[in-house]
Amino acid sequence: MFVAVQDMVDYLQEHEEDERTALDDRYMMGLLDSYVGNFTALTSLCIATIGNSFTDVWYDTELGDRQYSEWARFMRSVRHTLHSLSFKQGYNRNDYDTPRGIRPPLPHYSYRPMDILFRQWILPVLLEAPWPRVKQMEIRGVGRHVQSWHSDHMPTEQELSEPGLQLELISEQSRDGRTEMRKHLTHIAFPHEKREELLRLLPGGAKLIVEEDQERDYEELH
C-alpha cells in the first residue's frame, strides 16, 4: 500500500520489469484502493474511460466490475471535499475502424456494457448521500440499452415501474402473414428522475451537466 502518489511512482520506476498493468488501457486499475481515505483535501476529480458499446465486442465482465467498483469506492471516499467531479466514458474508436473509415456506434445502441456498469456501481454512489461542497458535477457518455423480442409475454407492472424504462410496441407482419408484436424495452442508464434526485443532493447554485454523447474520441486514452 502506498501512502503518497510519489511513493507509487518511485516503486513502479524501480520495479518496471517486475510489475505489469492489467491491460494497456487500464494503467490505474488496482491502485486507487490504496488511496481510499488518504486524500483528505482533494477538491477536483475527473475520471475518463473507454468502454464497450457493442455486444459483438469481447467484454470481460469481471474486469469491468473491478474497474468501476474501485472508482465508486474512491469517489465515495472524497465526497466531502470535492468541488468538481467529472465522470466521462466513451467507446474506443480503434475498435470500429473499417476500410471505409471510422464507423462509431450511436449512444443509443442496443445494450452497452459500460452503461450497465455505470448504473450498477457509479449511480448508487452519486445518489447515496449529499455532495456538500460540489460546485460543478459533469456526467458524460452515459447512454441507454435496448432489449427487443417477439413474445406474447408483457412486462409486469413491477418491471415497467423501473426508472428510465420505456416500452414500445411495434406491429410487424410475419412471413406466414400473421401479425406479430415486437417489443422494445429501452433502459436509460441515467433517467431524468435520477438526475433530479442527484440535483437535490448538490448545494444550491451547483451546476449539474449530464450528456449522453461522449465528449471526445478515446483512441489515445491510456
pTM of the predicted model over 0.75: no
Q: Which residue has the higher pLDDT, 178 or 5?
A: 178
Report, as an integer, the average pLDDT of 59-66.
Answer: 77
157 shares a domain with 119: no
Instruction: Give residue 114's domain range.
Output: 8-143+190-211
216 is a domain residue: no
Q: Do both 25 and 116 map to the same domain?
A: yes
The total of structural domains in the chain comes to 2
Q: Would 222 be classed as within a structural domain?
A: no
Residues 100 and 120 in one domain: yes
205 phi-psi bin (left φ>0, alpha ψ -120 to 50, beta other): left
Q: Say yes or no: 75 and 46 in one domain.
A: yes
161 and 102 together in one domain: no
Kindly tell me if the per-residue pLDDT of 84 is higher than 80. Answer: yes
Output Rg (C-alpha) for the chain, integer angstroms.
20
Residues 28 and 135 reside in one and the same domain: yes
One domain for residues 200 and 182: no
Asked if residue 127 and residue 24 are part of one domain, the reply reads yes
pLDDT, one tens digit per residue, over 94-152 is: 655 555 555 555 544 445 788 888 989 999 999 999 999 999 999 999 988 777 666 66
Mean of per-residue pLDDT scores for the chain: 77
- Residue 161: pLDDT band (50, 70, 90) is low
Q: What would the mean pLDDT of 195-202 be, rounded to a whole number? A: 97
Task: Specify the pLDDT at position 153.
Answer: 62
Backbone φ and ψ of 48, nearest 5°: -130, 135
The strand pairing partners of 21, in sequence order, are none
